[in-house]
Amino acid sequence: MPERKKGVVPLLRFPEFRDAEEWKVKRLGKVYRFIPTNSLSRDKLNYAHGRVKNIHYGDIHTKFRPLFDINNEDVPYVNDGTSPEQFDQDAFCMNGDVIFADASEDVDDIGKAIEIVNTDGQKLVAGLHTLHARPIGLEFSPGFSGYSFQTRGIRKQIQRESQGAKVLGISVKRLATISIYVPGKKEQQKIADCLSSLDKVIELEAQKLEALKTHKKGLMQQLFPREGETTPRLRFPEFRDAEEWEVKRLGEICSTFSGGTPSSSRKEYYGGSIPFIRSAEINQDTTELFLTEEGLENSSAKQVVKGDILIALYGANSGDGALSKIDGAINQAILCLRSKFNHMFILDYWRLRKNEIVTQYIQGGQGNLSAEIVKSIAFAFPTLPEQQKIADFFSSLDEIIDLQALKVKALKTHKKGLMQQLFPQEVD
């Protein structure tokens, strides 16, 4: 395919580049060369010791930053017995290299890429299901490629070139054909610096969010009794001389029910105004499906109201709990709990004990919770006024956490919008 000669421009340019030339459009295979990678699986890697570190495609999908600094990432070593001499010298990553994940079950992740911005002189190789691209010449400023390969214009091309049914893949040959958009080096650096600064702000705010969550968890461990105990280590002043908490099973203090799923062949049951809550939606204020009154009346779906306690019995989020944010109907994968005790207090207690409960009843990720299991779980309960005090305290803390989460989300949305402006969105 011949090299395209025409240029493109983004919607937004920094003032000093508004009269600069158009961005050049180049085939990726013309400006990068590809280096062979290894196929070491997870069982050939460890996080304790070694002489060579290895980039696994799963880490590109889940945790590595777009601008990869080895000092900021948790990278596994190749197991003992492997020496740097066993790798071709060309295989070791250099600053400016781009590593792509060449396989994914999710179209949004296929071809996801990181740019190596700092190896710190360490031996680093690209491993299983990765493609290792190295710039030909000095065309790119540090950091520019890492952001460029996140943009819609390039991501859509990579997704289009991927192949496969259940698992998508992209080859060197297909990746080499996509178009990339390249301005002058000074403009590249300006864009990379801008987005890098914004990433640092996002990371700091995300760290604040995690610190708040950790703070809440620590307070929960203080304000709720330990397993087998009936008095917490910390009580509010007005309850320090109060009696011990009383142990009760959830089945003693809660009425419970699950729902069902109306037949999908009965089209008249769907498309109404009643939100149909499924297990992954228990913490949401909207749903994907809606039932009609007829669908609710003639099926095993059951109605819940805002403020009911909802527990996911099975599925990927088994054990998750939430207070329903809406009036709606539930299916068989959800258990609804109602009690005269404080719902928020029960839910916070459940969330504190969730990992322990899941570990005990869903060992190795196998099996499900059930209504009987949930009802058999015992908590220690104080008086209603103390329950209310604890619930109000954590609700206030949750509001702070929610506001911080919204701040992080807004910053990420701002970055996404900024990238759409700073990079051309043209797709071949």
Encoding tokens for residue 60?
Answer: 């590109």
The beta-strand segments (E) located in 278-398 are: 289-291, 302-304, 309-312, 321-323, 328-330, 334-339, 378-381
Unique residue bearing structure tokens 């400023």: 141
Long-range contacts of 161-170 (CB under 8 A, 24+ apart): 161/111, 162/107, 162/110, 162/111, 166/105, 167/103, 167/104, 167/105, 168/103, 168/104, 168/105, 168/106, 168/107, 168/110, 169/102, 169/103, 169/110, 170/100, 170/102, 170/110, 170/111, 170/131
For the chain, give every domain's residue range. 7-184, 246-381
Q: Which CATH class is domain 7-184?
A: alpha beta
User: For the chain, how far is it from start to end, CA to CA, in angstroms?
Assistant: 13
pLDDT at 363: 63
Give the number of C-alpha atoms closer than 13 A to the C-alpha of residue 101, restricted to the C-beta side: 27
pLDDT at 364: 55
Instruction: Work out the number of other CB atoms within 10 angstroms of the CB of residue 19.
Output: 7
Same fold, 7-184 and 246-381: yes
Q: Identify the CA nearest to 138 among candidates 292, 31, 34, 277.
A: 31
Unique residue bearing structure tokens 């990278």: 75
pLDDT at 274: 95
Encoding tokens for residue 125?
Answer: 């190789």
212-224 residue pLDDT tens? 999 999 999 999 9
Q: Between the CA of residue 121 and those of 145, 188, 226, 341, what are the distances in Å?
A: 21, 25, 48, 60
Q: Which helix (H) or strand (E) holds 360?
A: helix 343-361
292 three-state secondary structure: coil
207 three-state secondary structure: helix
86-128 residue pLDDT tens? 899 999 999 999 999 999 999 999 999 999 999 999 999 999 9
Q: Identify the CA nearest to 11 among candidates 320, 428, 427, 419.
A: 419
Distance of CA 355 to the CA centre of its chain: 19
Report the phi/psi class of residue 414: left, alpha or beta, with left for phi > 0 and alpha for psi in -120 to 50. alpha
Distance of CA 278 to the CA centre of its chain: 20
Encoding tokens for residue 398?
Answer: 């949750």
User: What stretches in the chain show pLDDT beneath 70?
Assistant: 1-6, 363-367, 426-428
Contact 351, 379 (CB under 8 A): no
Q: Which helix (H) or strand (E) holds 248?
A: strand 246-249
CATH of 246-381, picked from 3.30.460.10, 2.60.40.3080, 3.90.220.20, 3.40.50.300, is 3.90.220.20
